[in-house]
Amino acid sequence: MINDILEVLSPTNLTFLLNGLGLTLYLSAIIIVLSTLLGTILAVMRNGKNAPLRWIASIYIEFVRNVPNLLWIFTIFLVFQLKSTQAGLTAFTVFTSAALAEIIRGGLNSIDTGQTEAGLSQGFTQFQILIYIILPQAIRKMLPSIISQFVTVIKDTSLLYSVIALQELFGASQILMGRNFETTAVFTLYVVIALVYFAINFTISSFSRYLAKSWASSME
């Protein structure tokens, strides 16, 4: 039993898991950046006055959000014949941007329309009002929800191994598990992976709660 645990926690295995964790964080960081940019564009389009752009954004958001992410990964990998990393990044960006678009749109809609009217009266353009007046206020309201979505991205990257064999953190653990058939070794491996996911996501969630409380206090 002790030997099984020590084997799982050997430097070689831990290094292999760290490489998987590095890929998980690398993928998550890129997905978060791209999804936030695309989500913001979609939110602005859906809130805009241009009917064709509004319809395009609405169809994209509603269709993508209501199709499982697993299916997007599988479809993009097979249809576009992309490499595993590219397919994973594309699928997650497509799916996450739709979810973030609704969060961002809710944040934009929470700002009183009087802010826009005040900006127009001062000679600002609609774009300047969005960038300098609306977004800074909306970010405070929507950032905790956006960060929560980031936690979901980190957890859901575990889907990538089962569909396109990317050796992120969970995928690395599955490969190691194939080398250790003893129950104790498998259980230990699952505990280690669970603790790593928990440590990362709990830290991010705690930071989100801290931001929400500090901003709420500053507004009182």
How far apart (Å, rounded) are the C-alpha atoms in residues 129 and 6? 59
pLDDT tens digits, one per residue of 154-185:
999 999 998 898 899 999 988 888 776 677 77
Asked if 9 and 193 touch (Cβ cutoff 8 Å), the reply is no
CATH class of 2-219: mainly alpha
Phi, psi of 158 (to 5 degrees): -65, -15
Name the residue ranges covered by the structural domains of the chain.
Answer: 2-219
Higher pLDDT, 215 or 83: 83
User: Within a 10 A sphere around the Cβ of 107, how many other Cβ atoms?
Assistant: 21
The predicted pLDDT at position 218 comes to 61
Coil, strand or helix at 114 = helix
The predicted pLDDT at position 217 comes to 64
Q: Which two tokens stand for residue 188?
A: 């230990």
Mean pLDDT of the chain: 87
The predicted pLDDT at position 4 comes to 61
Give, in degrees to the nearest 5, the angle at Cα 101 between 98 and 102.
Answer: 100
Q: Which two tokens stand for residue 77?
A: 């990998």
Asked if 154 and 201 touch (Cβ cutoff 8 Å), the reply is yes
Which burial class, exposed, middle or buried, applies to 203 when counting CB atoms under 10 A from its CB (0-12, 13-18, 19+)? exposed
Q: Which two tokens stand for residue 174?
A: 């599955």
